[in-house]
């Protein structure tokens, strides 16, 4: 059963793992480092959620803002951005991917890596940032192929296999170190709660505080891996799409620029400005609506359920749909987010449609009890990066060879579906604003 009704979706997801809806076992992937808060179900999911959720808090989000701002300024000082007041970048994805990777590395794992740094780690075959890139870039192979495929005598398979082994080695060592730190504090009568700013440290401390009810090593590793992957891959894609759509719609970009200028003026934007930068947030939300990274969710009722939806032509009339126990239900995020009842002119980029809406309507982050734990993490990072960039630079596209903006969009923002939905390389032109 496929569903693209937001009403039905919210009903189903509101029951997810706490009622009669759950994730079927054959729809679970991304468990090769261990079960985690995304893949687990039922009572096991509640355990993971209880331990993982407190790791995301206001201190985390303030750190996300500060780290993103610092990395932005480092990026601006790098050689690639010294080419003049007008710079053409053939693949701006490279910058958003680097940004998102370094933010999750710092705020998630306390790996404070500079923009142009690539630190080595004892025993690894590559730098840690390259290990992470290799692992996340080859997830589809790891998901669909049997284990023995990685042993095929080819350079590509060997690189992937080594990267996964390196990441496992790194996470194992870091978990051991964090656990030892918690036990040391316990031994001297100290608190088990972590004073770390990063998600990793807080997660390990929260798990240790649960004693035998905490997460074992594979579960900790599984959660850390899912935070790492979800924390940079999806954000990076949505950031570059946001910038491209703003270049395609210069009137929207100018509206956001004026708002940012009104809010922050010539001073440095801070985390305290986040709630005053809704037009920036809405542009990111609209890009994610059009290009939802997690494009499908699979659920199945554990008992017979009845779902209601509103009539297409007469919304005041509701219909009941009987869904038998065990039915495979595919939540079509592309269809949900282009449903004309919820989003009039569904194929158009209209950031202002989010005025008056809340982030509960941002369905790509899911809905209900299993809403993405990293939702605000991603939104704070995105608003910070976009605020800084759009204040300093005007984003343009090169229309040479294209009849219109829409033709350019069709060529460069055509989505492909793998583990996530994403586009290919996105060429953008940056024009320095006069205030710089």
3-state secondary structure 329-360: EEEEHHHHHCCCCCCCCCCCCCHHHHCCCCHH
| Positions of E strands within 313-375 | 318-323, 329-332
pLDDT score at 206: 86
Phi, psi of 361 (to 5 degrees): -85, 0
Is CATH 1.10.630.10 the classification given to domain 2-432?
Answer: yes
Token pair listed for 335: 């269809």
| Positions of E strands within 46-201 | 86-89
pLDDT score at 27: 66
pLDDT at 193 > cutoff 60? no
Element (H, E) at 423: none
pLDDT band at 359 (very low <50, low <70, confident <90, very high): confident
pLDDT score at 191: 55
pLDDT in tens, 361-418: 899 999 999 999 999 999 999 999 999 999 999 999 998 889 988 899 889 999 988 8
pLDDT at 246 > cutoff 90? yes
Task: Tell me if residue 249 falls in helix, strand or coil.
Answer: coil
Token pair listed for 294: 């997690």
pLDDT score at 168: 93
pLDDT in tens, 73-115: 999 999 999 989 999 999 999 999 999 999 999 998 888 999 9
Element (H, E) at 429: strand 428-432
pLDDT band at 161 (very low <50, low <70, confident <90, very high): very high
In angstroms, the CA 244 to CA 427 distance is 8
pLDDT in tens, 5-23: 888 899 888 887 677 888 8
Contacts of 173 (CB under 8 A, 6+ apart): none
SS3 content of the chain, % helix, strand, coil (to 5): 55, 10, 35
pLDDT at 332 > cutoff 80? yes
Token pair listed for 119: 């630190």
pLDDT score at 432: 97
Q: Domain ranges in the chain?
A: 2-432
pLDDT at 166 > cutoff 90? yes
pTM, two decimals, is 0.92
pLDDT in tens, 45-72: 899 999 999 889 999 999 999 999 999 9
Q: Is 436 annotated for ligand binding?
A: no
Average pLDDT, integer, range 231-253: 94
User: What stretches of 188-216 show up as alpha helix (H) in DSSP?
Assistant: 199-209
What is the average pLDDT value for the chain, to the nearest integer?
A: 90
Q: Which residues of 385-412 are buried (b: 16+ CB within 10 A; e: fewer)?
A: bbbbbbbbbbbbbeeeeeeeeeebbeeb
Nearest-5° Cα angle at 237, 398 to 119:
105
pLDDT in tens, 116-157: 998 888 899 999 889 988 998 888 888 888 888 889 999 999
227 or 255, greater pLDDT: 255
In angstroms, the CA 243 to CA 321 distance is 40
pLDDT at 296 > cutoff 60? yes
pLDDT score at 190: 60
pLDDT score at 192: 52
In angstroms, the CA 74 to CA 255 distance is 27
Q: Point out the least confidently predicted range of 110-119, 251-260, 313-322.
A: 313-322
Evaluated on CA atoms 101, 107, 108, 111, the torsion sign reads positive
Angle between helices 217-248 and 42-52 (to 10 degrees): 70
In angstroms, the CA 310 to CA 190 distance is 56
């Amino acid at each position: 059963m496929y569903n693209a009704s937001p009403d039905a979706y919210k009903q189903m997801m509101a029951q997810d793992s706490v009622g009669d809806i759950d994730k079927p076992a054959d729809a679970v992937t991304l468990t090769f480092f261990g079960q985690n808060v995304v893949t687990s179900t039922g009572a096991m999911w509640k355990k993971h959620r209880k331990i993982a959720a407190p790791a995301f808090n206001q201190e985390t989000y303030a750190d996300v803002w500060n780290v993103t701002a610092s990395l932005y300024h480092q990026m601006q000082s790098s050689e690639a951005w010294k080419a003049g007041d007008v710079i053409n970048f053939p693949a701006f994805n490279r910058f958003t991917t680097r940004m998102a990777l370094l933010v999750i590395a710092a705020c998630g794992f306390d790996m404070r890596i500079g923009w142009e740094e690539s630190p080595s780690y004892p025993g690894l075959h590559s730098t840690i940032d390259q290990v992470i890139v290799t692992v996340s870039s080859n997830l589809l192979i790891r998901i669909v192929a049997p284990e023995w495929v990685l042993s095929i005598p080819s350079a590509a398979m060997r690189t992937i296999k080594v990267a996964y082994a390196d990441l496992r080695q790194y996470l194992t060592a870091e978990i051991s170190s964090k656990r030892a730190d918690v036990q040391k504090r316990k031994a001297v009568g100290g608190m088990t709660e972590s004073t770390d700013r990063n998600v990793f440290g807080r997660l390990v401390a929260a798990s240790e505080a649960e004693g035998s009810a905490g997460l074992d090593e594979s579960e900790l590793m599984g959660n850390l891996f899912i935070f790492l992957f979800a924390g940079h891959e999806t954000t990076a894609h949505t950031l570059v799409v946001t910038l491209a759509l703003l270049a395609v719609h210069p009137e929207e970009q100018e509206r956001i620029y004026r708002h940012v200028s009104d809010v922050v003026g010539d001073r440095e934007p801070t985390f305290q400005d986040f709630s005053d930068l809704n037009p920036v947030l809405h542009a990111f939300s609209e890009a994610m609506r059009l290009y939802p990274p997690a494009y499908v969710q699979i659920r199945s009722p554990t008992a017979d359920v009845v779902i209601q939806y509103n009539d297409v032509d007469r919304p005041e009339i509701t219909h009941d749909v009987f869904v038998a126990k065990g039915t495979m239900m595919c939540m079509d995020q592309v269809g949900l987010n282009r449903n004309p009842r919820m989003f009039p002119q569904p194929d158009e980029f209209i950031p202002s449609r989010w005025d008056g809406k809340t982030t509960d309507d941002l369905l790509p982050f899911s809905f209900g009890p299993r809403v993405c734990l990293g939702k605000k993490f991603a939104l704070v990072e995105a608003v910070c990066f976009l605020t800084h960039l759009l204040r300093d630079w005007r984003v343009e596209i090169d229309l040479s060879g294209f009849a219109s903006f829409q033709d350019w969009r069709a060529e460069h923002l055509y989505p492909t579906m793998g583990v996530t939905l994403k586009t290919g390389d996105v060429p953008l032109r940056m024009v320095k604003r006069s205030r710089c």
